[in-house]
Amino acid sequence: MSKSILTVLVLLLMAIAASAQPPRRPKPAPSPASTKTEDKAQKAAELFDAAQNAHQAGNLAKAVELYGQALEHDPELWQAEFQRGGAYFSLDRLPEAKASMNRVAKLLTQFPDSDQVRQISARVQTTLGEIALAEAKPDEAEKAFRSVIELNPQSARAHSGLAEILFSSNKHAEAIAEAKAAIAAGEDRAATFTLLGVALINTNKFDEALPALDEALKREPKNALALLYRAEVFIAKNKPAEASADLRAALAIEPNTRTKLRLAGLQAQSKKFDEAQALFQEVLSAEPDNHDARTGLTAIMIESGKGEEAVSQLEQLIKTEPNRAVLRAQLAELYLPKNPGKALEQYTAAAKLEPNRPNHHIGMASAMVKLRKFQEAVDVLKPVLASTLKEDVAYFAHTNMATALFELDDFPNAAREFLWILDYQGKRGDRKRASISLYFLGVCFDKIGDYEQALRAYNQFMELASPENQLEIEKIKLRMPSLKRQIELGQSKVKRKP
């Protein structure tokens, strides 16, 4: 509870203090001593009234002073002690506030149990719970709020206070139950609806979280936390436009790097590269060393075809984070088409940093093949292919191995690689790539003198070939007549049983 809310509560309790006090003990018959006591009580009442006026006027220091004077005349005037505790709390004088409330609790024990006493005791414990929260003592706060619920099960503030404590302890299911109980008891604060929504998100109950966050934002449209978490709900429900709107609204209220990065990432996912780039660059202008922003900027440049700009970004990142293998691998991938030498340097560095990542070694082999370092590529790929690989990773290893072996004129082993590749492409229905694999497989069989297998591969290639394969088509057309004659003459070097 905020101090302003507590102040309102205290002012409301003034009416209770005046009209709903627990009964005092029966007064004795008048005597000089009792007359003096009555005079003190009268003076205490006057000081109490003056203190209330000061309290209502916002003069808390004066109110504390007058409540104290009233208590000097009548130490059992619990109403003055209670309201002095509230004033102390508003002044952030927490130890004094706690002492006042504890004394009120003690004074109330002299009265017989009644609904009225229970009501007042519940308010005392509520305030003690608030003080404990302000002192960052959740165990004390929880004890106080649970005492309130024993006295008044419908205490909205006690339930919402417990929800706050339980949420902070990552007890999300219990926090949800308490927040719902608070709302059922009349809790109307945006903070409680926000807490409920966030706790529901943390338990993956997005459909329930959305109305809770909507209610929070009805009460407090500029609640940045509710906007941020509602954006997460929209992202989970695949509503990027609504999520972007909430993230922008949150940024307008509380501009911060984290929200900018979240919005930039969302825009990148939605292929709105210009907006994402602008946000990443905005972060980098304020924080040049922000690695998340630079990495995100590099990624969208790569995806949007701005390779040269991405290279520049990655080179800067690597200067500040030379031991991040993933950055070196990304840079190598960009270098590979036009500068395989630099690509090889970066892939090699990545492989040294992460020797157990096969992708880096396959990248090295790709660069070596482009540099026509075929034997080196084979040497790199042999241990990679001897390990257990995911099929999609293995595919790139086999394609590089096949190319290197083919260029080394090791046609038998190259043929085995092309057969593996064709099997992979066939499973995925990749006719375009399968056609060129068939061409090279045919050449391998042709070179080792297995003319029947070569003819079969060439015929399959011709069935799948497209105009893009015109050069290979012409070569096969020239080869076919002599190949068929060699088969007819029994000149195949690979003899098969009839």
pLDDT of residue 256: 93
d(CA 363, CA 347): 6
Closest CA to 362 of 376, 349, 380: 380
Contact 241, 268 (CB under 8 A): no
Q: What is the pTM of this model?
A: 0.60
| Averaged pLDDT in 10-residue chunks for the chain of 498 residues | 41 42 43 62 89 92 92 90 92 93 91 89 93 93 94 94 94 96 95 96 94 97 96 93 96 94 92 90 83 79 75 82 86 85 94 93 95 96 92 92 96 95 88 91 94 94 89 93 91 68
pLDDT of residue 314: 80
Closest CA to 414 of 353, 369, 467: 369
b/e burial code for range 314-325 (CB count within 10 A of at least 16 → b): beebbeeeeebb
Question: What is the DSSP track for 241-283?
Answer: HHHHHHHHHHHHHS--HHHHHHHHHHHHHTT-HHHHHHHHHHH
pLDDT of residue 35: 58
- Amino acid identity of 204? N
Residue 168, Cβ neighbours under 10 Å: how many?
13
pLDDT of residue 497: 54
Region of 211 please: left (phi>0), alpha (psi -120 to 50) or beta: alpha
Contact 190, 223 (CB under 8 A): yes
d(CA 486, CA 481): 9
